[in-house]
A = this chain, B = another copy of it.
Amino acid sequence: MGDIRNILFIMCDQLRADYLGCSGHPTIKTPNIDKLASRGMNFSRAFVQAPVCGSSRMSFYTGRYMFTHGATYNGVPLNIGQPTLGDHMRELGVQTGLIGKTHMAADRANMERLGLDPLSKTGVLASQCGFEPWERDDGLHPDQLTGPNLTYNEYLNGQGYDGDNPWHTAANSGVDENGDLQSGWFLKNAHLPAVVDQKHSETAYMTNRAIDKMTELGNDPWCLHLSYIKPHWPYIAPAPYHNMYSETDVVPVNKSDEERIAPHPVVNAFMQHEESQNFSDEEKRRHVIPAYMGLISEVDDHIGRLVDFLETSGKMEETLIVFTSDHGDYLGDHWLGEKELFHEESVRVPMIIVDPSNAADGTRGKTCDRLVEAIDLVPTFIDGLDGAAKPHLLEGRSLLPILRNHQDLDWRTTAFSEVDYAWRGARLSLDLAPDKTRGYMLRTENWKYVSFDGFGPQLFDLKNDPKELRDLGKSNEHSERIGEFENELNKWIRERKTRYTVTHDAIETKTDTAKKRGIYFGVW
Shortest beta-carbon distance, A154 to chain B, in Å? 20
Of A16-24, A92-100, A420-428, the one with at least 4 CB within 8 A of chain B: A420-428
Of A193-201, A237-245, A268-276, A460-468, the one with at least 4 CB within 8 A of chain B: A268-276
Tell whether, in the assembled complex, residue A522 and residue B187 are in contact, meaning their CB atoms are under 8 Å apart: yes
| Chain A 491-524: CB-based contact to B (< 8 A → 1; otherwise 0) | 0011111111110100110111000011111111
CA distance A19 to B109 in the complex (A): 42
CA distance A113 to B187 in the complex (A): 44
Residue from the list B143, B424, B510 in contact with A512, Cβ < 8 A = B424
CA distance A20 to B490 in the complex (A): 40
CA distance A126 to B120 in the complex (A): 19
Residues of B within 8 A of A72 (CB): 498-499
Within 265-319 of A, Cβ neighbours of B (below 8 Å) are at: 273-279, 284
> Chain copies in the assembly?
2
The yes or no answer to A114 lying at the interface (CB within 8 A) is yes
Tell whether, in the assembled complex, residue A512 and residue B428 are in contact, meaning their CB atoms are under 8 Å apart: yes
A107 and B81 contact, Cβ closer than 8 Å, known pairs A507-B422, A522-B278: yes
Tell whether, in the assembled complex, residue A499 and residue B70 are in contact, meaning their CB atoms are under 8 Å apart: yes
Residues of B within 8 A of A8 (CB): none
Residues of B within 8 A of A87 (CB): 113
The yes or no answer to A252 lying at the interface (CB within 8 A) is no
Residues of B within 8 A of A77 (CB): 501-502
| Chain A 386-412: CB-based contact to B (< 8 A → 1; otherwise 0) | 000001100000000000000000000
**Residues on A facing B (Cβ under 8 Å):** 67-72, 75-83, 87, 107, 109-110, 113-116, 120-123, 126, 140, 142-143, 183, 185-188, 233, 273-279, 284, 337-338, 391-392, 420, 422-425, 427-428, 433-435, 438, 453, 490, 493-502, 504, 507-508, 510-512, 517-524
The 8 A-B pairs at the shortest CB distance, nearest first, are namely A275-B522, A81-B81, A115-B122, A185-B520, A79-B81, A490-B490, A77-B501, A425-B512
